[in-house]
Structure 1
Amino acid sequence: MADGKSVFFFDIDNCLYARSYKIHQIMAKLIDDYFMEKLDLDFDAASELHQRYYKDYGLAIEGLVRHHEIDPLEYNSKVDDMLPIADVLKPDPKLRAFLESFDRTKVKLWLFTNAYKTHAQRVIKALGLEGLFDGLTFCDYAEPILICKPKPEMFERAMAAAGVTDKSKCYFIDDSYTNIKGSKAFGWAKSIHFLDPEDPVPAVPAGDAVVRDFAELRELVPDLFV
């Protein structure tokens, strides 16, 4: 049941931690290896198909499920769950202090990822952010049809899980141009594109604002902070 609070949805990968940790590159190699093993492809063909599925569906695994009858939970065990998260990511006290400065009488903090729940839980634990978020909406690899950002159904699912019915109470930050464009089209109050320091500002904005540091959120949504 909706409780009247706003909800701030946070993407996880390359958002709560910097791209410079190179988790994405490690994952890309694991995905390419999985494509080569399961589909009997050489590296170039596997990499090309991986990128095509990611572009077409938002997730490489969705292409595998649609076209090759791959078990997504097995994929998760061989790819996401094999990432050396605890060895690469370390607790981030600065980020934790920032998240603690939200006014929790006004807003819920919600994790919103296209990864499976086990990956989300491992990242949050490694970053030392446990206990700060009210919930998690993830791409459920156990379902026969995968629902992920930027599909409207995924935004609907996140709202239902977080107990919010009013789109004007929904705020979202993500490093993905496509996902921010999707939330903007869906009608959320603020869709905020997170960029790394070296990223160029897109010629055509994906959403309502661009930030390179979470501290900038205080200026964008001051009413949500203590």
Structure 2
Amino acid sequence: MSDMTQKPVFFFDIDNCLYPKSTRVANLMTDLIDKYFETHLSLSQKDANELHFKYHREYGLAIEGLVRHHKVDALEYNRKVDDALPLEDVIKPNPSLHKLLEDIDRSKVRLWLFTNAYITHGKRVIRLLEVEDLFEGITYCDYGAEDIVCKPHTNMFMKAMQEAGVQSPQGCYFVDDSYNNAKAAQALGWTAVHLLDHSDPDPAHQASQYQIRDLEELRDIFPQFFKSPVGELK
């Protein structure tokens, strides 16, 4: 256990991070969320879309607003939204991603998944990417809990540290495509990397210590965590 707590942990977000935004999973999810708002709250498409983004902006997840204000069953929501996504049609194994993760030296850092999705969605994505064997564990948003906690809330980062067995924020490294999540991680003392899509504009102010547009750039930022120096890779 002492080795586990002393070794730093690198937390990886899943959606729009382990696979690119161009996969358009987020667009498919937005459509299903809007439909859920329309159906269950009897809203017009316009009102459903506005309320969806209001809750996402205020809480980090639309489902938190639904549970908090409308007593929605979060697990039923998950079945009708995340679990209903046709992920098998759009997410495929990525040899480059597998190689990148495989090249990280486990004697120096541990790898952990950290997502705002429910466990069923997170596991489905990493299975389709064929990288499930490269991570030690996963911290997810528990839709079955009485109080839903998600990034960028401090309690969610504390939950990740506890579940991954890391005691100090200085031992936490983190990559996420969300500006707010990267910013919150840095504020807590984590070393955070904000992943931008190639089509994203540069933010007016950088979210965290590092900003990248490709996970391969992690090799340059953290060469101490990789088995081979960048120049030696073929």
TM-score class, shorter: over 0.9
Say whether 1:191 aligns with 2:155.
no
Say whether 1:215 aligns with 2:211.
no
| Counterpart position of 1:49 | 51
CA RMSD of superposed structures (Å):
0.8
The alpha-carbon deviation at position 146 of structure 1 amounts to: 0.5
CA distance in 2, matches of 1:58, 1:177: 11
SS in 2 for 1:91: coil
Structure-2-length-normalised TM-score? 0.94
| Counterpart position of 2:11 | 9
CA distance in 2, matches of 1:154, 1:163: 14
CA distance in 1, matches of 2:28, 2:199: 20
Per-residue CA distance 1:191-217 (angstroms, 9 max, x = gap): 100011111221111100111111111
| Paired residues for 1:22-37 under 5 Å | 22-37=24-39
The alpha-carbon deviation at position 14 of structure 1 amounts to: 0.6
| Paired residues for 1:136-215 under 5 Å | 136-188=138-190, 190-215=191-216
Whichever residue aligns with residue 106 of structure 1, its letter is K
CA distance in 2, matches of 1:67, 1:130: 35
Whichever residue aligns with residue 196 of structure 2, its letter is L
CA distance in 1, matches of 2:102, 2:146: 37
CA distance in 2, matches of 1:132, 1:41: 43
How many aligned positions are there? Answer: 225
CA distance in 1, matches of 2:168, 2:49: 41
CA distance in 1, matches of 2:213, 2:78: 30
CA distance in 1, matches of 2:82, 2:88: 13
CA distance in 2, matches of 1:224, 1:61: 36
The correspondence for 1:76, drawn from 75, 78, 101, is 78
CA distance in 1, matches of 2:188, 2:132: 29
Q: Where has structure 1 moved over 6 Å in runs of 4 or more? A: none
Per-residue CA distance 1:42-93 (angstroms, 9 max, x = gap): 1011111001000010000000000000010000000000001111110001
In the alignment, structure 2 segments of 5+ residues that lack a partner are 228-234
The alpha-carbon deviation at position 136 of structure 1 amounts to: 0.1
Structure-1-length-normalised TM-score? 0.98
The alpha-carbon deviation at position 96 of structure 1 amounts to: 0.2
CA distance in 2, matches of 1:85, 1:123: 7
| Counterpart position of 2:231 | none
In the alignment, structure 1 segments of 5+ residues that lack a partner are none
CA distance in 1, matches of 2:216, 2:34: 36
CA distance in 1, matches of 2:188, 2:93: 33
